[in-house]
Amino acid sequence: MDNRPIGVFDSGLGGLTAVRELMQVLPQESIVYFGDTGRVPYGTKSAETIRKYTRQDIAFLKTNGVKMILAACGTVSSVASEIGDACGLPFTGVLRPTAEAAIRVTKTGKIGVIGTQATVSSGSYERHVKALDPKAEVYSCACPLFVPFVENGVIAPEDPMVRLVVERYLHYFDEKGIDTLILGCTHYPILQESIAAVMGDSVTLINSGREAALHCVEMLRENGQLCGEGASPCHQFFVSDQVDGFQSMADICLGHAVDAAVRFIDIDRYPA
Tell me the binding residues for substrate: 10-11, 42-43, 186-187
Amino acid 169 reads Y
Cα–Cα distance, 70 to 227 (Å, whole number): 16
The site for ligand DGL, by CB under 6 A, has a size of: 17
The DSSP secondary-structure symbol of 191 reads G
Cα–Cα distance, 39 to 11 (Å, whole number): 7
189 makes contact with ligand DGL (CB under 6 A) = no
Q: Shortest CA distance to 254 belongs to which of 237, 229, 233?
A: 237
Helix axes 16-25, 208-222, angle to 10 degrees: 50
123 sits in which H/E element: none
H-type alpha helices, 158-231: 160-170, 192-199, 208-222
Which CB atom, from 37 or from 226, has the smaller least distance to ligand DGL? 37
207 makes contact with ligand DGL (CB under 6 A) = no
Which CB atom, from 119 or from 226, has the smaller least distance to ligand DGL? 119
**Among 69-77, 121-129, 132-140, 172-180, which window interacts with ligand DGL (CB under 6 A)?**
69-77
Which CB atom, from 75 or from 180, has the smaller least distance to ligand DGL? 75
Which CB atom, from 70 or from 226, has the smaller least distance to ligand DGL? 70
Residues contacting 48, CB < 8 A, separation 6+? none
Given candidates 74, 93, 112, 189, which one binds ligand DGL under the rule CB under 6 A?
Answer: 74
Which CB atom, from 43 or from 84, has the smaller least distance to ligand DGL? 43
Given candidates 75, 106, 124, 140, which one binds ligand DGL under the rule CB under 6 A?
Answer: 75
The tally of CA atoms less than 13 A away on the side-chain side of residue 136 is 29
Residues contacting 79, CB < 8 A, separation 6+? 47, 50, 51, 54, 118, 119, 122, 124
The tally of CA atoms less than 13 A away on the side-chain side of residue 89 is 25
43 makes contact with ligand DGL (CB under 6 A) = yes
Name the residue whose CB lies closest to ligand DGL.
Answer: 43
Given candidates 5, 14, 84, 97, which one binds ligand DGL under the rule CB under 6 A?
Answer: 14
Question: Is 185 labeled as catalytic in the residue annotation?
Answer: yes
Considering the candidates 87, 143, 185, 253, report the single residue annotated as catalytic. Answer: 185
| 122-181 binders of ligand DGL (CB under 6 A) | 147
> What binding mask, one character per residue, do residues 93-132 give for ligand DGL by CB under 6 A, x or -?
-----------------------x--x-------------
Residue 164's SS3 state is helix
Mode of pairing for the β-strands spanning 68-71 and 91-92? parallel
| Chain residues in the site for ligand DGL (CB under 6 A) | 10-12, 14, 40-43, 73-75, 116, 119, 147, 185-187
Catalytic residues, by residue number, are 73, 185
